[in-house]
Structures are given as C-alpha cells and as structure tokens.
C-alpha cells in the first residue's frame, strides 16, 4: 500500500511538473524528455519492481511497456529490457494469483462481482480453456483478468503458463513499438503496430472459437 501511495504521488508530481513546464513555455518534447530522464534515474531495479507490483493495484501494464524501451534500451539493450519486462510480468501474474486465491479473496471477489464479472466454477478439464478465454477477452483490464482467474481457483500451473505466454505476446511488441516510436523508427513502429493488430484480431477469432466449442459441448451434453 505504501508503495502504491508513493507511486501515485510520484506520478502526480510528474504530471504537475509537466503542466508547469508547458505553462513556462517548454515544449512537449522537452517535457517528455524530462519524464524519461526521471524514470531512467530511478534505475532498472526500481522500475521493473514497480512494473511487477503496480498492475496489481490497477496501474495499466501498457504504461510500463511503452516507456521501458525508450528509458532503458540505450543502456541495457532492447533484448535485456524485454527479458526483464517478461520477468516482471511473471512476478505480477504470480502475485495477483496469490492475492486472489488466498490473501485477499473475499474482497477481490466482491470487486469482481461489482464489476459484473461472474465467478465461474469450472471442472479441472476445462480450466485451460477458461484461462485462455479470459486472457483474450477484449476490454477486460489485465488486473481483473488475473483476479477473476485466481478467485475462480484455477490450477496454478496452467494459469501461470497460459497467462504468461498470452501476455508476453502483447508485451514484447508494445516494448518494441514504444522504443521505435521514441527514436523515430517509423517502419519498426508500423511493424509492431501491425503485429499488435494481428494479435488482437487473432484473439477475437480464438475467443469466438472457444465460445462455439463451449456451446457445442453444452448441446451435446443436453
């Protein structure tokens, strides 16, 4: 909780500083450069720790993935930035599972129900399909996806494997897109954006396939 408060205060301070800079005549590019320099000053340890923790309390994962490349690729290299991001992603997936399954289960269950997310009760044989179905659901925040699956009590092994693979396919193109966009690599940015669009379309087709498969199974059972 303290970390979340400190991060919120830091983000608010960055926003206030950016607003003040614009009022004083600084350009948006200068303000953005200052924000990136500030994040770089935090160091990779603090940044990727925050990336592992903050999505558990509602911070969008995309914020971290978009700035990770521009901030740390010049010193660490883009492959290492992607590797550290994927480690942070795995840590967050594990953390949210533990919170939803055991530590904060009653409270998180109420939040899911408040958001209109029904807690599924699923047989072990259907858990992998459920995890995949939830992870490719459009419009559902990453945090709520993790909490919903944890509250549903799906097995840890399929949960971590499927969740990590599906989200890694989104995280890496986002990091590449942010890095290319910041450094003026129009072709690279367009390629990453095209890949993200293709993944989104593929996820929709996969979700529809799972829905039809489930409907067919229910019809056969009836």
pTM, to two decimals: 0.73
Question: How many domains would you assign to the chain?
Answer: 1
150 near 138, Cβ under 8 Å? no
Give the confidence band of 178 by pLDDT, cuts at 50, 70, 90.
confident
pLDDT class of 1 with cuts at 50, 70, 90: very low
* CA-closest candidate to residue 170, choices 66, 57, 73, 50: 66
Check pLDDT > 50 for residue 100.
yes
Q: What is the predicted pLDDT for the residue at 222?
A: 47
Instruction: Report residue 93's pLDDT band, with 50, 70 and 90 as the boundaries.
Output: very high
- The larger pLDDT score, comparing residue 27 to residue 55, is at 55
Tell me the residue range of the domain where 52 lies: 2-221
Q: Which helix or strand (DSSP H or E) is residue 125 part of?
A: none
Q: Where are the alpha helices (DSSP H) in the chain?
A: 2-23, 28-53, 61-76, 78-98, 105-114, 127-135, 142-152, 156-182, 186-221
Quick check: 22 pLDDT over 80?
no
The average pLDDT across 121-136 equals 85
Is 219 a residue whose pLDDT tops 60?
Answer: no
Residue 31 CB partners (closer than 8 Å, separation 6+): 18, 21, 22
Confidence band (pLDDT; 50, 70, 90) for 128? confident
Q: What is the mean pLDDT of residues 186-213?
A: 61
Average pLDDT, the chain: 77
Q: Which of 70-79, 113-122, 128-137, 181-190 has the lowest mean pLDDT?
A: 181-190
- Residue 5 confidence class, pLDDT cut points 50, 70, 90: very low
More confident residue, 118 or 93: 93
Whether the pLDDT of residue 12 is over 80: the answer is: no
């Amino acid at each position: 909780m303290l970390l979340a408060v400190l991060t919120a205060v830091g983000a608010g301070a960055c926003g206030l500083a950016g607003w003040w800079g614009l009022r004083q005549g600084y350009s948006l590019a200068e303000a953005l450069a200052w924000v990136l320099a500030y994040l770089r000053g935090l160091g990779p340890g603090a940044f990727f720790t925050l990336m592992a923790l903050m999505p558990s309390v509602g911070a969008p994962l995309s914020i971290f993935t978009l700035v990770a490349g521009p901030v740390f690729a010049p010193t660490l290299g883009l492959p290492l930035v992607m590797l550290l991001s994927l480690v942070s992603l795995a840590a967050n997936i594990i953390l949210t599972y533990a919170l939803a399954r055991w530590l904060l289960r009653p409270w998180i269950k109420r939040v899911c129900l408040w958001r209109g997310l029904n807690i599924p009760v699923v047989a072990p044989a259907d858990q992998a399909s459920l995890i995949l179905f939830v992870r490719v659901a459009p419009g559902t925040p990453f945090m709520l996806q993790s909490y919903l699956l944890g509250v549903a009590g799906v097995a840890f092994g399929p949960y971590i494997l499927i969740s990590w693979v599906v989200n890694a396919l989104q995280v890496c193109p986002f990091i590449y897109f942010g890095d290319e966009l910041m450094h003026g690599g129009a072709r690279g940015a367009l390629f990453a954006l095209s890949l993200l669009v293709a993944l989104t379309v593929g996820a929709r087709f996969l979700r529809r396939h799972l829905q039809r498969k489930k409907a067919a199974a229910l019809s056969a059972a009836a």
